[in-house]
Structure 1
Amino acid sequence: MKKLAPSILSADFAQLGAETEKIEKAGAHIIHVDVMDGHFVPNISYGATVMKSLLGKTKLPFDVHLMIENADKYIPDFVTENTGYITVHQEACTHLDRTIEFIKSFGVKAGVALNPATPPQTLEYVADKLDMVLVMSVNPGFGGQSFIDNALTKIKKLDDFRKKNNLDFEIEVDGGVNLSNVREICDAGTDIIVAGSSIFGAEDIGNRVGEFLELL
């Protein structure tokens, strides 16, 4: 089953609880939590405190995307009863295997994100430990960017690789996803769709979630 993970980076933070309730009632599967540190990416978003403010207000699992340096230092802060995934960047982790094992030690699914210029071959020796690979289809740091088309090739390569090697990691795509391209992205082999401004920028957030779900 394909899953929809709206990114709260694009939500109205003055209405975060209410907007989270809207996406949950509309049928979204996951809450995508984009964390930026102003070092690994040229922007600062929010930390664990904002994410934890949703505890008790939603039953949806958190999909934590750490676009940060020194991820190991902060991973424990993002482990909660709602945390389903924690994803780190291949490019930001000096000891990626160790970081993956650290995430899994908390009973949380471990993911690794790949920037647009990073080939999937960099994950060859850790792929059997991964629960998810996140394909960045924009350069990370800001919402509202346009989808980079060659991400489709990367998705297909990852899908072929996992089938050939009997691996069961999920493929997630983040960046520039909208109603006009989501079907093609899913057909390439994507399991989890992240959408931010295309959902939270809609006049009717719940209706927009429904439109996405019809296309998954």
Structure 2
Amino acid sequence: MRRIICPSMMCADFANLEKDVEELDKAGTDIFHMDIMDGCFVPNFGMGLQDFELVRKSTDKLVDVHLMIMNPGNYVEMFSELGADIIYIHPEADIHPTRTLDKIRSLGKRAGIAINPGTSVSTITDLLPLVDYVMVMTVNPGFAGQKYLDFTDQKIERLVELKEEFNFEIMVDGAISPEKIEKLSNIGVDGFVLGTSALFGKEESYNEIISRLKKDKLFV
């Protein structure tokens, strides 16, 4: 099964961001993941527009934007113009998520929803015909370095049952270690947002790590 590898650029070396992007690109990155936070929907501030623009101009690979902000519908046109290929919103942060998802697709972009650990699948089922990706947050959003929340596995298993019916891909984001990648890949997860648990701050090169993570069996 193909594993979609998505480095979380919030964890990159900001003193050498362009170099990091180039190395990750050559190593086999599939999607560059960009977190945008407003200090309101989540208690933190994320990457800036200049960071997004730098990553976008430094790679021809797909770039997504994860809008952890209130009223994301007000910003999808801006990020579309900046070159985002995939735009994730949190339904809880949008009064009219169906309108926003439709807007994303009307701009020629792929639409995604990110669902928090406390958000049930039943509350977002009506949105599934409108999305290309569902990203399950396996930690509470806003900060790197948190512990994986095991109860989210049940949510992932339910989404796996639904993905063929609605034709979306399942992504996971939050404390994704190599062990979690193998387990969740076997369950039916398609893509993995990677931070310090599996990719950044390691002694091995990005090429060595990503090559290993894309193998069918990480552990023998």
TM tier, smaller: over 0.9
Q: 1:162 to 1:205 in 2, by over 3 A?
A: closer
Whole-angstrom distance in 1 between the partners of 2:65 and 2:56: 14
Determine helix, strand or coil for the equivalent of 2:104.
Answer: helix
Q: Is the 8 A contact 1:35 1:46 kept in 2?
A: yes
Separation (CA, whole Å) in 2 of partners of 1:108 and 1:199: 27
Under a length normalisation based on structure 2, what TM-score does the superposition of the two structures give?
Answer: 0.92
Write out per-residue CA displacement over residues 32-65 of structure 1, whole angstroms, 9 at most, x where no aligned residue. Answer: 1111111000100123321111233211111111
How high is the TM-score relative to the length of structure 1?
0.93
Is the CA contact 1:83–1:108 (under 8 Å) kept in the aligned structure 2?
Answer: yes
SS at match of 1:83: coil
Structure 1 CA distance for aligned equivalents of residues 79 and 209 of structure 2? 28
- How far has the Cα of 1:186 moved from its partner? 1.2
Deviations, residues 122-144 of structure 1 (Å, cap 9, x unaligned): 12212111111110000001011
Equivalents in 2 of 1:215, 1:141: separation in Å?
31
Contact 1:66–1:89 under 8 Å retained in 2: yes
Distance 1:61 1:121 in 2: 30
8 Å CA contact retained: 1:61, 1:82:
no
Does residue 197 of structure 2 align to residue 200 of structure 1?
no
1:114/1:133 contact within 8 Å kept:
yes
Please give the root-mean-square deviation of Cα atoms over the aligned residues, in Å: 1.5
CA distance in structure 2 between the partners assigned to 1:80 and 1:27 by the alignment: 25
Matched-pair identity in %: 36
Question: Runs of at least 4 residues of structure 1 off by over 3 A?
Answer: none
Which has the larger displacement, 180-189 or 86-95? 180-189
Q: C-alpha displacement at 1:180, in angstroms?
A: 2.0
Mapping for residues 180-199 of structure 1, pairs under 5 Å: 180-197=179-196, 198-199=198-199
Residues 160 and 21 of structure 1, relative CA distance in 2, 3 Å threshold:
same
| Whole-angstrom distance in 1 between the partners of 2:160 and 2:123 | 15
- 1:9 match: secondary structure: helix
Distance in 1 between the 2:182 and 2:202 partners?
19
Q: Quote the residue 2:177 is aligned against.
A: 178
* Separation in structure 2 between the aligned mates of residue 215 and residue 23 of structure 1, nearest angstrom: 20
Aligned twin of 2:77: 76
Range with greater deviation from structure 2 (5-14 or 76-85):
76-85
Deviating more after overlay: 123-132 vs 8-17: 123-132
Partner in structure 2 of residue 58 of structure 1 = 59
Q: Which residue identity lines up with residue 180 of structure 1 in the other structure?
A: E
Is 1:169 aligned to 2:168, yes or no? yes
1:2-41, aligned counterparts within 5 Å? 2-41=3-42
Aligned length in residues: 214
What SS does structure 2 have at the residue aligned with 1:38? coil
Deviates more, 1:59-68 or 1:41-50: 41-50
User: What letter is aligned with 2:201?
Assistant: G
Alignment of 1:134-173 (within 5 A): 134-163=135-164, 166-173=165-172
Q: Does 1:48 align with 2:49?
A: yes
SS in 1 for 2:112: strand
Distance 2:51 2:82 in 1: 15
Amino acid at match of 1:115: N
Unaligned runs of 5+ in 2: none
- The whole-number CA distance in structure 1 between the counterparts of 2:169 and 2:145 is 24
